[in-house]
Structure 1
Amino acid sequence: MQQGMNEWKPPHGEAARFGKRFAAGAALLLAAGLLAGCGLFGVGGDADGGSEPAKPAAEIVRYDGPMSRAVDFVYTARKELSLTFNGMADPATMDRLLDELNKYGIRATFFLPGMRVAEEPDIAKAIAARGHEIENNTLNRLDMSKLPYEQVYSEIKLSNDAIRKRTGAVPRYVRTKSGDYTDDVRLAAAQLGMEAVVSYNINPKDREMQGAAEIGKYVERFMTRGGIINLDTDANPEVIGAIAYIARAADDIGYKLVPLRDLMKNGGERKPLERIPGWDAAKINPDYKRAQYKLVYRKDGLKDKQIALTFDDWGSDKTITKILDILAAEDVKATFFLRAKGTESNPNLARAMIEGGHDVANHSYSHPVVTTLSPEALQADIVKAHRVITEAIQQQPTMLFRPPTGVIDDATGKVVAATGYPVIAMYEVTTLDWDAKNSAADIVQGIVKQTTGGSVILLHMLDDIHTIEALPTAIEQLKKKGFTFVKMADLIGLQPQGSG
């Protein structure tokens, strides 16, 4: 360039965006060149060495139909979840990973970048040959939020083409590198006939280079029915060692790791809250001063030795699933009073209670001492809990409210009743099982000593206490004394309430 001649530069602030657009465009051109050699675009690669002229690219018009589903977890009460991987590492790493999955009998889902599949198709073929599912991780794993619609569409389509050409697999789902997605990603996926844009709800962030045990413990802590675990193949070699921890954690709870397609096939569709009968059975009601309420501690006058077993609060899948398994083995139905803030993050576990034949009721949203709240704040908390629980279980909960810590007074009882919960479910038998200092033997002794016909027994579903250890023995001893277990609503003769 001649000295003194002005060189054109992008306007200030545009340089970085120009560079990114150029890089993204260059990546697509490079991809097209590489994939053309695979015969994906009508060029290159006849068996006799001939070639066909390239067909002109069709104009990509932004799709104006319904967006593809966005899936972070699958709504199901089944004891299943999916282990998914992003990216495609080198052949040696992938061989070790596949061997480890095979060792534990795990069939996983691999979101593969189309470019890597085109570069090293033998790795992708090995994944498919081992019985794993192959899905779309976009072509170059670019930041889709910074690309125009045409490039978003091309990144997904070209990756689909590469995967289909090289492995025979037809991707149904797409995931971006980060798991985040935009409306354009969902629209492009729908335009391409894909079933869903998939993210995840269990992410140990292995790119932070934790050890295998730490990754495994994270997954164990947050393992859920219908969960989608996210790991990377090409970031942290400790992921391979974490497979053993994840497999043991799933086995300990009795959960099965299945390919995403199976998880999705067995999952249900959640209705919006407003379409569920009874969603508005609890309402804000400022006219509470004359409201009538009833505190129920037990049921007197029963001819049979019936009792009600109830559980308060919330816990992990590991704890609550073990409680549900014990109750199923003993053929006992119980009533679960849910802290809805926990339910909100894990609705599948609440639904599992319903499918086990148990009742689900309201224990507040945030677990406050209700006498410390203003009437407005208390009603807002109760109504929020009602709606969260309703949406989680996809039906109206049993209309019983139990105050956290069991503390309530006359004024607060009226405030609660005015929302649509006139029956306040207290309890007669408590062993302070929420305190880990109380052993399983202490809990059993307290239950058996205090229980009489008509008793309402309070236990908790918290982690790291001894209730699970105590429960089978307590049930067995109560049965030997002639007691039969019923749900609290049945014990007290609660009449079902419709929506308001």
Structure 2
Amino acid sequence: MKNKKLVSIIVISMIVTMILTSCSKDKYPLKDDKVTNVSKNVISKVDKNIKVSNCDEISCAITDKKVISIVIQGMGNEDSLSKLLKELKNNNLKVTFFASGIKVSEESNLAKAIISDGHKIENSTLTSADLTKESYKNKVKEIERSGEAIEKVLKEKCKYLRVGKDNINKKVKDVAKDCGYKYIINPTIRFTDLSNEDEQYLGKMFLEKRKRGNLVLLDLDSNPDLYKYISYFAEKIKEKSYKAISLDDLIDLYEKRKVEQYKPKKQIDVPCNQYNIIKDYKTDEKKIALTFDDWASDDTVDEILDILDRYNIKSTFFLIGEGVEENPSLAYTISQRGHEIANHTYSHKDVNTISSEELKKEINKGYQVIAKAINKEPSKYLRTPRGIIDEEVGQTIASCGYKDIVLYGIDPKDWEANVSSDEIVDYMINNSKSGGITLLHILDGKHTAEALPRVIENLQNQGYEIVTVGELLN
């Protein structure tokens, strides 16, 4: 009897041990337990068969096409996902969901519903932890185990990674590269908390923030009622002639541009004291140059570009580097529409209030940003902010390789908000002359675009040929 009790106790103990061992076992282990073999002193490839030379952080693609790509964080629950998928289908939108491996593994029915509707699922790490605060070993765990859990359900490897809190540094990118990821997705526009917003909010914010080639993030995990916003959002996308494309297609645009990317010179410092200040060009031919300064939103610039296209006119745009840096696709669009692009410094500082060295930095940085955005060498003219110039400023500009400082002789002051479109047109009619260089602006909230068709028609009726600065000088 005692032996039977002893055997029973042993058997029960073995069963309990097996259960506890099973519970403590990592639910999402790496294949071959690669993480445990990572040395503290030696950072080796997670998988030597994976060869990725670099991991790029993707926030947008530089393009002249009116496209965006929509990504969604999380899968929500059965109810919120079902309603969202229905709205996406009704509005013919295909998106990429970023989800954790744990969620995909535990609620594979949601993942399969997403895939069956033609959407994609990519890796959002295991727990959405802030990877910048994790060790190399834990970074690998977060990325690799999540990817394996997703692959097990979907039978397909993840191509793209989104990390917790969008906190990305070189170490995070290095680990992502080691895990075989070429891209970390970091959306430009994020809609994370919609709890206090009406159902038209997404559409209104899209109109305000949109740029060509943007990545737009919608957060389903934080907003179970996300489905309510989709129809109006889709309506506004179409209203501005935009198209929502897949993340794969946006990455293709990014890759194509990367291969063809123009590499501007590191310096444009050429010793020279000789320069020309050009306010107009002496000629008997009835030619006049329309030039546009500064920077604006897509709406304003698109309206001006469409007007110029309508009249088959090419102009010269003197762009502020700071604006171009913020929205390189818009500068690229201006260039691709056949217009001449030139330097208006980086941040539009008064050149007589800064040192020569600061001015050189303003000129060189403006040049670098503009050249990279338009993917070619800008025209070799410079216009100083507010038309300010003296001998010291002129010599500094010349030393940066700019022989021609192009100012203007015809200024309707369209940059002032209280100057009406009628006043702009009247000034242009009364002050235009052969060889004249006209100063206009691309600024939001002004009357330039309203006046421009009448300006063009009046100049043409007077027999003027409207040209770029380059065409006028040559």
Place the TM-score, normalised by the shorter chain, in its bin.
0.7 to 0.9
Runs of 4+ in 1 over 6 A off after TM superposition: none
Q: Residue 88 of structure 1 contacts residue 94 of structure 1 at CA under 8 Å; is this kept in 2? A: yes
Query: Quick one: structure 1 residues 140 and 249, their matched pair in 2 at CA, closer, same or farther if it must change by over 3 Å?
Result: same
Alignment root-mean-square deviation, CA = 3.0
1:343 aligns with 2:315: no
Q: Which amino acid aligns with 2:223?
A: N
Give TM-score, length-normalised by structure 1: 0.79
- Corresponding residue number in structure 1 for 2:283: 301
Q: Does the Cα contact within 8 Å between 2:76 and 2:224 map onto a contact in 1?
A: no
Contact 2:191 / 2:219 at 8 angstroms: preserved in 1? no
Unaligned runs of 5+ in 1: 1-25, 33-40, 42-54, 494-500
- Aligned residue for 1:206, secondary structure, equals coil
Could you tell me which of 204, 207, 213 is aligned with 1:220? 207
SS of aligned partner of 1:309: strand
Deviation at 1:212, TM superposition (A): 4.6
Give the corresponding residue for 1:163: 150
Could you say if the C-alpha distance between residues 317 and 447 of structure 1 is closer, same or farther in structure 2, counting changes exceeding 3 Å?
same
How many Å separate the matches in 2 of 1:127 and 1:452? 64
Q: Aligned in 2, Cα 1:350/1:413: closer, same or farther, shift over 3 Å?
A: same
Bigger mean CA deviation after superposition, 311-320 or 99-108: 99-108
Is residue 154 of structure 1 aligned with residue 135 of structure 2?
Answer: no
In 2, Cα distance between the equivalents of 1:439 and 1:237?
48
CA-to-aligned-CA distance 1:228-280 (integer Å, 9 cap, x gap): 1222111135644443454344334332221111111123344899x725453
Letter in 2 for 1:308: A
Amino acid at match of 2:361: A
- 2:44 maps to 1:57: no
Change (3 A) 1:189 1:444: same
Task: Indicate if the aligned counterparts of 1:362 and 1:386 stay in contact, CA closer than 8 A.
Answer: yes
* Aligned ranges 1:396-415 → 2 under 5 Å: 396-415=377-396
CA deviation map 1:460-490 (0-9, x unaligned): 1111222222323433443344333322112
Q: Indicate the larger mover: 372-381 or 395-404.
A: 372-381
Q: Tell me which residue corresponds to 2:441.
A: 460
Equivalent pair of 1:204/1:219 in contact (CA under 8 Å): no
**SS in structure 1 opposite 2:115?**
helix
Please tell me the residue identity of whatever aligns with 2:214. Answer: G
Matches of 1:170 and 1:413 in 2, distance apart? 58
Is the 1:335–1:359 contact (alpha carbons within 8 Å) kept by the matching residues of 2?
yes
- Residue number in structure 2 paired with 1:116: 103
**CA separation of 1:183/1:301 partners in 2, compared to 1, >3 Å: closer, same or farther?**
closer
Q: Aligned pair 1:390/2:366, yes or no?
A: no
The residue type equivalent to 1:89 in the other structure is G
Greater Cα shift, 61-70 or 140-149 = 61-70
Q: Residue 306 and residue 393 in structure 1: after superposition, are their counterparts in 2 closer, same or farther (change >3 A)? A: same
Aligned equivalent of 1:488: 469
User: How far 1:152 moved relative to its partner?
Assistant: 2.5
SS at match of 2:450: helix
Q: Which moved more, 1:232-241 or 1:339-348?
A: 232-241
Offset at residue 214 of structure 1 (A): 4.7
Q: 1:449 to 1:415 in 2, by over 3 A?
A: same
* Residue 52 of structure 2 corresponds to residue 70 of structure 1: no
The aligned amino acid for 2:400 is T
Pair 1:58–1:376, CA change in 2 (3 A): closer
Question: Secondary structure of 2:293's partner?
Answer: strand
Q: Structure 1 pair 329/133, CA: closer, same or farther in 2 (3 Å)?
A: farther
- The answer for the alignment partner of 1:258 in structure 2 is 245
Provide Cα deviations, 1:353-376, integer angstroms capped at 9, x if missing partner: 222211111111111222232333
Q: Aligned partners of 2:102, 2:259: CA distance in 1, in Å?
A: 38
| Counterpart check, 1:315 vs 2:329 | no
Counterpart of 2:411? 430
Q: What's the counterpart of residue 498 of structure 1?
A: none
Check the 8 A contact 2:293/2:318 in 1, yes or no: yes
> Would the alpha carbon gap of residues 261 and 453 (structure 1) be closer, same or farther in structure 2, given more than 3 Å must change?
same
Q: Say if 2:128 is the partner of 1:141.
A: yes
| Number of residue-to-residue matches in the alignment | 440
Q: In the superposition, relative to structure 1, how do residues 237 and 450 fare at CA in structure 2: closer, same or farther (>3 Å)?
A: farther
Matches within 5 A, 1:223-234: 223-234=210-221
Residue of structure 1 in register with 2:3 after alignment? none
- Given residue 335 of structure 1, which amino acid in structure 2 is its aligned partner? T
Q: Deviations over 1:366-420 (max 9, x none)?
A: 1122223233322222222122222222322111111212232344323322322
Does the 8 A contact of 1:75 with 1:270 survive in 2? no
Say if 1:124 and 1:326 are closer, same or farther in 2 by CA, change over 3 A: farther
Which residue among 395, 398, 403 is the counterpart of 1:417?
398
Task: Return closer, same or farther for 1:312/1:142 CA change in 2, 3 Å cut-off.
Answer: same
Deviation at 1:319, TM superposition (A): 2.0
Partner-residue secondary structure (3-state), 1:203: strand
Matched residue type, 2:431: Q
1:378 equivalenced with 2:359 (yes/no):
yes
Q: How far apart in 1 are the matches of 2:230 and 2:68?
A: 14
**Amino acid paired to 2:248:** R
C-alpha offsets along residues 164-198 of structure 1, whole Å, 9 cap, x if unaligned?
33335542101013122344543343344333111
AA matched with 2:427: G
In the other structure, the counterpart of 2:335 is 354
Alignment check: 8 A CA contact 2:203 2:235 kept: no
Say which of 442, 445, 462 aligns to 2:423. Answer: 442
**Structure 2: runs of 5 or more not aligned:** 1-22, 46-51
Q: TM-score normalized by structure 2?
A: 0.83
Residue by residue over 1:31-85, the C-alpha shift from the partner in whole angstroms, topping out at 9 and shown as x without a partner, is 45xxxxxxxx9xxxxxxxxxxxxx8534554445733222222232322121211
Q: Which digits, 9 at most, give the CA deviation of each residue in 1:102-125, with x for residues without a partner?
A: 343322221122221222223222
2:79 counterpart of 1:129: no
